[in-house]
Amino acid sequence: MEKHANFGSRMGAIFAAAGSAVGLGNIWRFPMLVGDNGGAAFILIYIVSILFVGIPIMVGEFVIGRHTQSNMIEAFRQLAPGKWWRIIGVMGIGVAFIILSYYIVVSGWTLYYAYSSFSGALSDPDCNYGAFFGDFVANPWLSLLAAVLFMLMTHLIIIRGVQNGIEKCSKVLMPMLLLIIGILVVCTFSMPGINEGLTFLLKPDFSKLTISVVLAAMGQAFYSLSVAMGCLCTYASYFGRNTRLVSSALSVSSIDTFVAVLSGFIIFPAVFSVPGVDVNAGPGLVFQTLPYVFNMAFGNVPFLAYIFSGLFYILLFLAALTSAISLHEAVTAYVHENWHITRKKASTIVSVSAMSMGVLCCLSFGVLSHWTIFGLTIFDLFDVVSSTIILPLGGVLLALFVGWYLNRELVRKEITNDGQVSQRVFPVLMFLLRWVAPIAILTMFIKGLMEMFGM
């Protein structure tokens, strides 16, 4: 049998996992949800979920992946032969596929926006950003072309393999991304709406906090960390024996949370400065406000506005790319290993089928916008169902699996790298996985669903 692939270094492993975590979830989805759900109170619940539920589950996924050195479905098959736990692996692959198919749509938008920045369309002082966005997403050919291009790029990296494709590209792109975010945060302090923006972000209004808001915050925590569906199991199967699982999980989640909160700081002061854009503008929020930020911040030096906006959308695109790669890889690894076909073939099957579903999501902003289920378009349905329903469910199952079913000694061995790393966090982690995570997620999940369906 072919030797299972590996990341070349510990740093490479952290960058790859952080690349998976930091994506559209941080810069596009997080501000959109914060805007919809009332600001600071949502952020507070989000951070609590990351700390007490997200991080322990991430460590759990690392344990499963590194121990079995296999893709998601195979990993559960090995650890729980003949048991229904295997459903977690199947669910994971399914949801990775669903997320990937709408993820490429928004990622395509980033490509078009990068292009429009360089063509000068976005730095035109008379540009109506709301209309610009609306016209673009409703244009089937243009938005499909962008999504297909994006999928092609993801595909080309995946077929280069784990070390040469995934690891190499994460190591270059992640530091660049962090640098640009830092610069943008500084720029936003020149926005006229800075005070209102900061108040919205920092002053919790608990009256806005309903159970379904809490559920959305928890779902977003999972989404942003890339946990609760086994995507990170696949990456952890490429970790070396000396990679420390708990400290890697802490590094990845800190980078991820940091980027999400900073993008809030970039976007909200701008939202309150743009006439006519509402904080709850939905999926278009980031695309309608950010171009304005650049024009405002560099208004007297148009050349800078032009460069900066282009650079930003390229970087947003790159963040999306490293995450799309991880979603793609989770499915490809399974198809490649279990169907016994080459990586190239496996990757092609995944790209083509995810793209076919992507077409529906793409068109749901235009010609198919009247196709709705429970009042949601296909795009919204994929987003809401995967993150608000399947991710919390996957989270509960993973926590129970690692906390109760897996052999305690196996977990201890993985977490301590065979006794080389301190054991102190082990009991805390087990307590969180056994009790805190399942009870918290299940309570919110059931209540959230009841509220959503008006029971």
Interacting residue ranges for ligand TRP, rule: CB under 6 A: 20-21, 23-26, 99, 223-224, 226, 229, 231, 323, 326-327
With a CB cutoff of 8 Å and minimum separation 6, the contacts of 433 are: 56, 57, 60, 399, 402, 403
Shortest reach from residue 190's CB to ligand TRP, in Å: 28
Which ranges constitute the DSSP H helices of 203-244? 211-225, 231-236
Q: Are 280 and 286 in contact (CB under 8 A)?
A: no
How many other C-beta atoms lie within 10 A of the C-beta of residue 428? 11
> Whose Cβ is closer to ligand TRP: residue 41's or residue 100's?
100
> Whose Cβ is closer to ligand TRP: residue 99's or residue 215's?
99
Burial class (CB in 10 A: 0-12, 13-18, 19+), 179: exposed
> Whose Cβ is closer to ligand TRP: residue 223's or residue 382's?
223
Burial class (CB in 10 A: 0-12, 13-18, 19+), 427: exposed
Which ranges constitute the DSSP H helices of 189-301? 194-202, 211-225, 231-236, 245-271, 285-297
> Whose Cβ is closer to ligand TRP: residue 41's or residue 95's?
95
> Whose Cβ is closer to ligand TRP: residue 93's or residue 297's?
93
> Whose Cβ is closer to ligand TRP: residue 326's or residue 377's?
326
With a CB cutoff of 8 Å and minimum separation 6, the contacts of 104 are: 147, 150, 151, 154, 324, 354, 355, 358
Shortest reach from residue 386's CB to ligand TRP, in Å: 8
> Whose Cβ is closer to ligand TRP: residue 223's or residue 268's?
223
> Whose Cβ is closer to ligand TRP: residue 110's or residue 326's?
326
Q: Are 117 and 291 in contact (CB under 8 A)?
A: yes
> How many whole angstroms separate alpha carbon 301 and alpha carbon 297?
9
> How many whole angstroms separate alpha carbon 399 and alpha carbon 52?
12
Shortest reach from residue 318's CB to ligand TRP, in Å: 12
Shortest reach from residue 346's CB to ligand TRP, in Å: 18
Shortest reach from residue 229's CB to ligand TRP, in Å: 5
> Whose Cβ is closer to ligand TRP: residue 96's or residue 305's?
96
> How many whole angstroms separate alpha carbon 407 and alpha carbon 213?
35
Which ranges constitute the DSSP H helices of 126-167? 129-138, 140-158
Shortest reach from residue 154's CB to ligand TRP, in Å: 12
Shortest reach from residue 188's CB to ligand TRP, in Å: 21
> Whose Cβ is closer to ligand TRP: residue 21's or residue 91's?
21
Shortest reach from residue 100's CB to ligand TRP, in Å: 8
> How many whole angstroms separate alpha carbon 326 and alpha carbon 251?
18
> Whose Cβ is closer to ligand TRP: residue 70's or residue 326's?
326
Shortest reach from residue 437's CB to ligand TRP, in Å: 16
The H or E element containing residue 372 is: strand 372-373
Structure tokens at 430: 């087990």
Please give the angle made by the CA atoms of 263, 363 and 306, to the nearest 5 degrees.
Answer: 40
- Point out the residue whose Cβ comes nearest to ligand TRP: 25
Shortest reach from residue 30's CB to ligand TRP, in Å: 8
Shortest reach from residue 41's CB to ligand TRP, in Å: 21
> Whose Cβ is closer to ligand TRP: residue 142's or residue 153's?
153
Shortest reach from residue 148's CB to ligand TRP, in Å: 20
> How many whole angstroms separate alpha carbon 109 and alpha carbon 10?
33
Please give the angle made by the CA atoms of 9, 15 and 18, to the nearest 5 degrees.
Answer: 145
Cα torsion at 43, 15, 20, 156 (round to 10°)?
150
The H or E element containing residue 170 is: helix 168-188
DSSP 238: T
